[in-house]
Every structure is written in structure tokens, then in C-alpha cells.
Structure 1
Amino acid sequence: MRRLALLVLVLGSLASAKGVVAQECTGCHTSKRTEPQTRFANGLGRWTDSQCFGCHAEINDVAVKRQKREPDPRYFAIPVREDKLAHLAKTPLAYMNAPELLEHPGQKVPRISSRGLAAFLKRPSTLSQKEGSRAPRMMAYPSLQSGDVKDVAALLSVRLPAREAPAAKLTASERKDADTLWKARCASCHAGDKPLSGRDGVSLGLYTPEWTYEYCREQPPYARADRQMPEVPLSLDEARLLHRLFDEMRVEKERELDARVTRLAMKDAAMPGAVPPTMLAYLWGPFFRDATCVHCHATSPRAASAFTADAEGLKTYLKKKSGEEYWRRLETRALEAEHGLVAAKPGMPMAGMELPVELRRLIARWVVDGCKDTEGKTWCRR
């Protein structure tokens, strides 16, 4: 019996260890996203690090009520400054646009492509227009495994295609036809830095060509009252050709972004002059919260294993990696915002907005000067 119990325990632990990527999706894309583990006496939820949507939704709600002068006992437990709460009343915290349902009820064909989902999870692209930034608001999983894709699909009730045509490079004539089709039928709404629809060709690669064909015909269940996309004449073969174009668009834009990341030069970006002592104290303390580092690097095991968001964690990171790597990840996020696509080595803050350029330039100067702490000791690895 003891051996049997031990076997059950081992198998149970293996089962719980499976699907780490899928587990991180639970707090944003399932019905459990609004369910706190427990409640404080004043009604504020006790949220885990994976329950981003629910925690942010509750803070946003308190901010709105505070702005309306409505009494709310949760206000006293919210770890947010008064001026920040006033800002949140008009500009809510992130994750509120995370869809709970990824499938359209009644659809006949699978909507999401296995290959497209894998590409999106590895390097998310912008799926909707955001005011002020195009930085994708989605966690990236650069080390994604094939099993992770299946776990995510199962968790979110996504019906992946039983078979998919392998990726095939377009010939010169096919590329010309695909480009012509794109410009004639799609570009007016899906092209440009901020496409009218919120989805460019890279993002459209998430879906299957069969679903695109059905959706463009504006047939039930797609002909909803809130639908904004007009009916577009498109054959199934044309849809398949377009999706091969979307695959190539992603490859081309990934290469373009990664090339820009490679060309980043810290000394060129560094602001002139020395970093003020008050700013040194800021970089070793309040910065971790203001830059949202603590949201992942003080709670999530995956993020905290790479970098712990406190002074000691920063020292360890600077010695193990380098100050230039620290700056480069922050600067990469700004490039991701320009491209609407995550880099091969994701920028920081992941799933958040890029830091202001002035702050990034100051951090570059701080690194060039040796990553000094408030006592003047340098921590950058040479």
C-alpha cells in the first residue's frame, strides 16, 4: 500500500508539473480569473501571482469608486498611491482586454491554427490597437514546447485543426499574387503601424485559412450585430495563399526586429553627465515597483528564477549577466512597441508598456558608469 501511495504521489506531482505555460494562462483567460483564493476582512481579494486579470479588475473598480467619492472599505488595503488611483479611474490597469472565450459559439471550422498559436505564444504580436503603445500585452514563452501548445488549447477549449498544411515558402509568382490580393482585399484595414482593425498580417497568422474564408463571407455565426468587418469576397484557395503570406510576413518582421536589437549601442544611448544620487537610490529601490518588475520577478517562479526584483536580486543579476544586458532588455521593449511584436529575447517589462526614453537613457548612463549603488560601489560585470 505504501508503494502504491508513493506511486500515486509521484504521478500526481508529475501531472501538476505538466503545463506550466497553460497554468499561467488561467488567471487571464478562464472563468477562474475573477476568483480570489480568499478574502481579507475588508473584502479585498487575496490574489496569487497568476491571477492578473482579477487583481487588476478589483483595483480598477476601487479606483473608479474612489473617483466618484463612493465609500469602499477595500480602499484602505490597496497598495496604490492616491495620484495613481486617480489615473487608474480613467486609464485602467492592463489585462482588461484579455478574452475569456477564444472560440466563437457555433463555428464550423477550427479558428486557431496550431502553428499560428505556437508562433504567437513564442513571440506575441499586437492583437488590438492600444493608445500610446503597440507593445504586445501578452506574456511570451520563447522556450515553448509542442506539448505546451496542446496544454494551452485544452485549457482554453480551443479546437485545433486535426491536420494542417506544412509551411511552404511562396514562389516569386505566388508572392506577387499574394501581395496583390493583400493590397486589394486586406491592406485598407490591416496594414500600417496602427491598422484600423487592430490586426496586421502577422497577427492574422494566428487563425486558420478555413476560418478566415468562413469569416470573410459574413455568414452565421459571424454576422453579429457588433461586427465591424465588412463582407470580403475571398475563395478558400485565396485564403490559403494569404496565410502563407502571413507566415512570411512574420518571418520578415521577426528578422527586422531582431536585427535592430542586435544593433543597439548603449554608449550612444546614454545620457551625458553623472547619475544624480537621488536617482541612484531610486534605481535600487522604488524603481522595481514603478517599472512593474515586482509583478513577476518577486512572485512568479518562472520570472523570479531569472531575476529577483530587489536590491540583492539586482546585484546577483549584474554579476551573473551584465549591466548592458539589463539595459538591453529594457531598450528591446521600446523596439517591440514600434514593431508590435516581441523579440527573440523578450524585452522588459514583458506584457507591459515600455519605459520612458529619458529613464532608459539614464539607466544606460548608470551602466556605463559601472552600475553604482548609493555608497558608490560598482556592480556591473566587466
Structure 2
Amino acid sequence: MRALWVLALLWGGLAGAKGVVAQECTGCHTARRTEPEARFANGLGRWTDSQCFGCHAEINDVARKRQKREPDPRYFAVPVREDKLVHLATTPLSYMNAPEVLQPPGRDIPRISARGLAAFLKRPSTLSPTEGSRAPRMMAYPELLARDEKDIAKLLSVRSAAVGPPPARLTHAEKATAESLWTARCAACHSGPKPLSGRDGVALGLYTPEWTYAYSRAQPPYAHPDRRMPEVPLTLDEAKLLHRFFGELRQEKEREVDARVAALSLERSAVPVQVPRAMLAYLWGPFFRDATCVHCHATSPRAAGAFTASAEGLKAYLRKKSGEEYWRRLETRALEAEHGLVAAKPGMPMAGLELPVELRRLIARWVVDGCKDPEGESWCRR
């Protein structure tokens, strides 16, 4: 009996260890994303913290019916403010566009590169242009473990091999050839701050060279009426060369972002005036909701374990970390939006828009002045 009890504990620990990330993937990218755990008496689903897609799909449905003045008993149980519900009726959250299937069934050629997927999950890049911002709209998993990579690849039907040594670095001659290919056949649609295709060179590293080769030739099953990409003549060797080029382009862009983050200066960013008393009350209360902190840091076990979006949670974070770290994560998000790539230590709000520069500068001043609460007590050492 004792042996069974120990085995159950071990199994539960292992399941939890490998389940946190996979559950979040399940909640957005599989057919199970629309299945509630149970339902309330009025029909509203009971959703877990990892079922963001399904929960918001139902909220959006209630919002649309509310806008049309159609009766819906679920309305009274929706945990959303009326003004937000009005907004959601016409403007669904960005992750509602998350594809359910990453590897279409029946296709022989693996689409997603396992190595590229791991790089993307650790440091997401912009997959499509967002009005007013390039901030990546994808959760980051900077501490992703090898076993997580395997679990997620299996969950999402990613069949490309993840084992083996990393690709060899491009020689000068190979890099020159790759850059010429990129300029002549790809850059017109895949470069610039808002690429026409929605995917830049860093994002293209997500796909296998075999799939890039097959897709670019626009032959069945990749030729269809809704296709927007023109046929691009590429050999398989050229596609493999471009794939290595995309990998090195990601490394180069990652270094650029991290250098910008390292150069951030709290003193240079702070506004020269004191933070108004009303702003102090705001930073310790309504800010957590307005900045979307509560969306993860009051619900997701992974996020709430690092920081709880409340006054007490902020005090604990400032004592454990620092006020400068709190500001730096917010400022990092603005740099991520500028580059379209997540930093090594992700910015906040993760998967959301960066905060206005005026608010970030006020927070910098608040930190310089000691992270005071509404009563005037300081909570940080900078």
C-alpha cells in the first residue's frame, strides 16, 4: 500500500511537471480547446486556467448575442465588465486566431521544425502584423525543458526530428548565396517592420526546409484558390540553405534585443517629477487589471508562482526581486514590440501590448523614489 502511495506521488509530480506547458498548448491548439470541464446550470462552461481559447470563444459568443439583443442565460454568469463585453463583440482577442492544427493530417512532409518550434516557444517572434505594435502575441517559455519539447511536439503532431547536432554555421560563401536568395525571392514579402506576408525571416525558421521547398513550388496539395503566396522557384538544397540562414538570422536578432535590454537605464527613463499621490493608489490597485496582469498572474499557476497581481503580491515581488526588475520587465516589452521578438528574459505584459511610454516613465520615477505605497512607505531598494 505504501509503495502504491509513493508511486502515485511520483506519477502526480511527473504529470504536473510535464503537464503545465502542454496543458496551455492543449487549450489553444487542439480540438480539446473548446471542451469545458463542466457547465453551470445556465449553460456557461466551467473552464480551467489553461483553456483560454475555449473560455473566450464562449464569452465572445455571449458578447455577440448581447450586442444583437438576443436572450442568452449565460450572460448573467460571464465574469466580464459590460464595457469589455461590448468591445469583445467586435474585437476578439488575438489568440482567437490560433490555428487548431499545426501539422495538417494526411500530409507526408513535416511542416513544423521541432528545433524551430523549441526556439519559437522560448522566444516567440511576430507571426502577423498587429495594428500599432509588433509585440509577439504568444506566451514565452524561456525555461523550456527537453522533455517539454518532446511532449509538445507529440501533442501538436510535429514529426520532424529534434535530435542531432545543430546545423553547421554558414561559411562566407554560403551566407552570400543565402542572402542573395533571400533578397531575390523572399525579401519583397517577408522583410521590413510589417512584412506583407506577416512572417519575417525569423518566423520562417519555424518550418522545415522540406516543407518550404514543397510549399514554395505551389504544387498540390499546396496549390489552392485561397493561396496568397506566388510560386517561388527553389531547389531543396536552396531551401535547406535558407533554413540555416533563418536560424542565424534569429540568433542575430536575439543578440540585438538582449543588447538593448542590457543597456536600459532606470535613471534616464524616469520622469523628472514626483509621482502624484493618485498615481500611487493606481499602481497598487487598478493597474493590475488595466495592464492585464490579472489575466495570468491571478489565474495561471505558472505566472502566479512568479508574481501575484495584488498589493500583497507586489510587496512580495519587490522584496524578493527589486523595483528596477519590475520596471525593466515592463520596459523590455516595448523593445520586444520594436523588434518583434521576445527577449531572453521576457517582458511584460507577456503576449500583450506594451504599456504607454508615459506610464512606464512614471513607474521608473516611482522605483527611483523607493516604490512607495499610498501611505508613503517604501517597499523596494531599487
Shorter-chain TM-score: which interval? over 0.9
Deviation string for 1:20-50 (max 9, x for gaps)? Answer: 3212211111112111222223322222110
Q: Could you give the per-residue CA deviations for residues 343-373 of structure 1, whole angstroms, max 9, x where no partner exists?
A: 0000011111111222212211211221111
Shift in Å, 1:65: 2.1
Letter in 1 for 2:78: I
> Residue 16 of structure 1 aligns to which amino acid in structure 2?
A
Q: TM-score, normalised by structure 2?
A: 0.95
The superposition leaves residues 201-238 of structure 1 with CA deviations (integer Å, 9 ceiling, x where unpaired) of: 10000111111111111122211332111111000110
Instruction: Kindly report which structure 2 residues correspond to 1:178-189, keeping only aligned pairs within 5 A, or say none.
Output: 178-189=178-189
Corresponding residue of 1:253: 253
Matched position secondary structure for 2:97: coil
Counterpart amino acid of residue 299 in structure 2: T
Q: Is the 8 A contact 2:275 2:365 kept in 1?
A: yes
Give 3-state SS (helix, strand or coil) of 2:218's partner: coil
Cα distance in 2, alignment partners of residues 357 and 67 from structure 1: 34
Give the corresponding residue for 1:198.
198
Does the CA contact (< 8 Å) of 1:209 and 1:240 recur in 2? Answer: yes
| Distance in 2, Cα, partners of 1:24 & 1:319 | 30
Residues 4, 325 of structure 1: alpha-carbon distance in 2 compared, 3 angstrom cutoff: closer
* Residues 107, 80 of structure 1: alpha-carbon distance in 2 compared, 3 angstrom cutoff: same
1:16 aligns with 2:15: yes
| Separation of aligned partners in 1, 2:90 and 2:286 | 24
The answer (yes or no) to whether the contact 2:113–2:158 under 8 Å persists in 1 is no
Kindly state the Cα deviation for residue 117 of structure 1 after the two structures are TM-superposed: 1.1
2:27 is matched with which residue? 27
The size of the alignment, in residue pairs, is 381
Per the alignment, residue 5 of structure 1 pairs with 4
Say whether the 8 Å CA contact 1:31–1:100 is kept in structure 2. yes
Q: Distance between the aligned counterparts of 1:94 and 1:210, measured in 2?
A: 29
Change (3 A) 1:89 1:168: same
Alignment of 1:195-344 (within 5 A): 195-344=195-344
Amino acid at match of 1:9: A
What is the alpha-carbon distance in structure 1 between the residues aligned to residue 146 and residue 269 of structure 2? 39
Aligned residue number for residue 352 of structure 1: 352
The more displaced of 124-133 and 194-203 is 124-133
How far 1:155 sits from its partner (Å)?
Answer: 1.2
Distance 1:115 1:177 in 2: 23
Inter-partner Cα distance in structure 1 for 2:326 and 2:96: 29
Q: Tell me, in whole angstroms, the C-alpha distance in 1 between the residues paired with 2:343 and 2:378.
A: 30
Aligned equivalent of 1:41: 41
Alpha-carbon distance in structure 1 between the residues aligned to 2:178 and 2:165: 17
> Following the alignment from structure 2 to structure 1, what is the Cα–Cα distance between the partners of residues 13 and 379?
40
1:186 Cα deviation from its structure 2 partner:
0.3
Distance 1:173-1:288 versus aligned 2 partners, 3 A rule: same
Tell me how far apart the structure 2 counterparts of residues 79 and 162 of structure 1 sit (CA, whole Å): 42
Distance 1:189 1:29 in 2: 27
Q: Name the aligned partner's letter for residue 324 of structure 1.
A: E
What secondary structure is seen at the aligned counterpart in 2 of 1:335?
A: helix
Check conservation: 2:139, 2:350, Cα contact below 8 A: yes
TM-score, normalised relative to structure 1: 0.95
Range with greater deviation from structure 2 (361-370 or 321-330): 361-370
Q: C-alpha displacement at 1:172, in angstroms?
A: 1.3
Secondary structure in structure 1 of the residue aligned to 2:158 = coil
**Which amino acid letter does the alignment assign opposite residue 131 of structure 1?**
E
Structure 1 contact 327–364 (Cα < 8 Å) conserved: yes
Structure 2 residue 374 is matched with structure 1 residue 381? no
Which region of structure 1 is more displaced relative to structure 2, 150-159 or 229-238?
Answer: 150-159
Contact 1:45 1:55 in 2 (8 A): yes
CA distance in 2, matches of 1:232, 1:363: 49
Rounded Cα–Cα distance in structure 1 between residues aligned with 2:39 and 2:292:
24
User: Which segment is superposed worse, 333-342 or 7-16?
Assistant: 7-16
Secondary structure (helix, strand or coil) at the match of 2:352 reads coil
3-state secondary structure, aligned to 1:158: coil
2: distance between equivalents of 1:7 and 1:83? 50
- Which has the larger displacement, 3-12 or 288-297? 3-12
Structure 1 6/55 Cα, relative in aligned 2: closer, same or farther at 3 Å? same
* 1:86 CA drift (Å): 2.2
- C-alpha change, 1:6 and 1:79, in structure 2 (3 Å) is closer
Within 5 Å, give how 1:59-208 maps onto structure 2. 59-161=59-161, 166-208=166-208
Cα gap change, 1:59 to 1:272, in 2 (>3 Å): farther
Deviation, structure 1 residue 8: 4.4
> Where does structure 2 lack aligned partners over 5 or more consecutive residues?
none
Provide the C-alpha distance between the structure 1 equivalents of 2:287 and 2:223, rounded to a whole number of angstroms. 47
- Name the SS of the counterpart of 2:90 in structure 1: coil
What's the CA shift for 1:294?
1.4
Deviating above 4 A after TM superposition, structure 1's stretches of 4 or more consecutive aligned residues are 162-165
Alignment RMSD: 1.7
Inter-partner Cα distance in structure 2 for 1:287 and 1:162: 42
Closer, same or farther in 2 for the Cα pair 1:358/1:60, shift >3 Å?
Answer: farther
CA separation in 2, counterparts of 1:62 and 1:131? 26
Contact in 1 for aligned 2:37/2:47 (Cα 8 Å)? yes
Residue identity in the other structure for 1:55? C
SS at match of 2:61: helix
Whether contact under 8 Å (2:202, 2:246) holds in the other structure is: yes
Structure 1 residues 4 and 164 mapped into 2: Cα distance closer, same or farther (>3 Å)? closer
Structure 2 Cα separation of the partners of residues 136 and 205 of structure 1: 15
What residue identity is the alignment partner of 2:182? W
- Alpha-carbon separation, structure 1, partners of 2:38 and 2:256: 46
Evaluate the alpha carbon distance shift between residue 323 and residue 214 of structure 1 in structure 2; reply closer, same or farther with a 3 A threshold: same
Counterpart of 2:283 in structure 1: which amino acid?
L
Counterpart Cα distance in 1 of 2:75 and 2:13 = 41
